[in-house]
Amino acid sequence: MARVLYNLLMFTIGLTQRIRVLGYWSLIYGYCALCTAVALLKLWWNIILRPSTTFQWGIRETPPACLNDTSLGTHCYVRIKESGLRFHYVAAGERGKPLMLFLHGFPEFWFSWRHQLREFKSEFRVVAVDMRGYGESDLPSSTQSYRFDYLVTDVKDIVEYLGYNRCYLVGHDWGGTIAWLFAIHYPEMVTKLIVLNCPHPSVFTDYALRHPSQLLKSSYFFFFQLPRFPELMLSINDFKALKGLFTSRSTGIGRKGRWLTAEDMEAYLYAFSQPGALTGALNYYRNVFSSLPLSQNDVKSPVLLLWGERDAFLEQEMAEACRVYIRNHFRLNIISGASHWLQQDQPDIVNTLIWTFLKEGEGRKTHRN
């Protein structure tokens, strides 16, 4: 009798798990279908309003001068033996000084850290990487090449190639996700962790599933699962949607922020108008659902989390929730009026807060600037 009850219990547990998995993927594919329908309506409306320009966009052939600004650093390349991939990075500051490694988000590239490269090169060897699939780094064609474990290993390989075994790691958006994961899996290689507008991956997963408002804000995650169509929608009307991410009232840099200049915007259009550039960036999203939830969560490094109060994509409540996974000092700074594009929006405040964390930075208070 006991054996029968045990088998029945195990069957019930297994059935419950399968139902949860089925529900999870049903939610994902259902939301993908909904987002596709909305995108098709937007495309149809664009064709009606601008029939002659909707499908016009151009590859920028020449990089703007700001991408070759010598005050930002030297352009370098490294080919990692294990993966076979070539990575592009911009480096400044004296070799031998502590390494500060910057990881960008979507849709960005090394240039998003220009204000920080100038600021921290006096005391650090600063390196801003084009992550795989971005900028002048290699763009693997397979979606599976953008799994979390590969992205984390890229960071390890780059740190070691640069001749270091530890670094101050700084990440924003997708770069923030990889920075969290790197700190989880290689705690001995992270002196201090600095993350901008990106929650701990487990916080994001738990919060989004419990809060429909965040799920709605993250609808692009589902839309980006589709092949080719997201690339088209980001390209039409000469990359209007891409420009809007940085400049629109709802998602762009705030009125008090440091707006992108026309040349800055051309730098982004140069990077993402190149063949395959949008696909490489979007492939990060096309692996995310199969990579969560995480099997490990604890972060043992001191952590500074900077958060723009006006982030249009991520709800602020997730910032404080990150505390539960951090086994060291945790400092959270919420910056009033700042957008998701924090290091470009409010570079002076961001740089000051980073300096404070680097010099003194062991605290557990939440500050509002």
Active-site positions? Answer: 173, 285, 340
- Three-class DSSP category at 251: coil
- 211 token code pair: 């809060």
With helix as H, strand as E and coil as C, how does 14-39 read?
A: HHHHHHHHHHHHHHHHHHHHHHHHHH
Say if CB 74 and CB 128 are below 8 A apart. Answer: no
Angle between the N-to-C axes of helices 262-272 and 229-247, in degrees from 0 to 180, rounded to the nearest 10: 160
C-alpha 263/C-alpha 285 separation (Å) is: 28
Say if CB 290 and CB 304 are below 8 A apart. Answer: no
Place of tokens 């009850």: 5
Residue among 215, 216, 134, 138 nearest 172 (CA): 134
Count of Cβ atoms closer than 10 Å to residue 60 Cβ: 16
Residues with Cβ < 8 Å from 121, sequence gap 6 or more? Answer: 73, 92, 93
Residues with Cβ < 8 Å from 41, sequence gap 6 or more? Answer: none
Phi, psi of 239 (to 5 degrees): 65, 35
Q: Any idea what the Cα angle at residue 257 is, between residues 254 and 259, rounded to 5°?
A: 90
Phi, psi of 366 (to 5 degrees): -100, 125
- 165 token code pair: 């075994």
Strands 125-129 and 167-172: what pairing? unpaired
Strands 330-335 and 190-196: what pairing? unpaired
Say if CB 340 and CB 315 are below 8 A apart. Answer: no
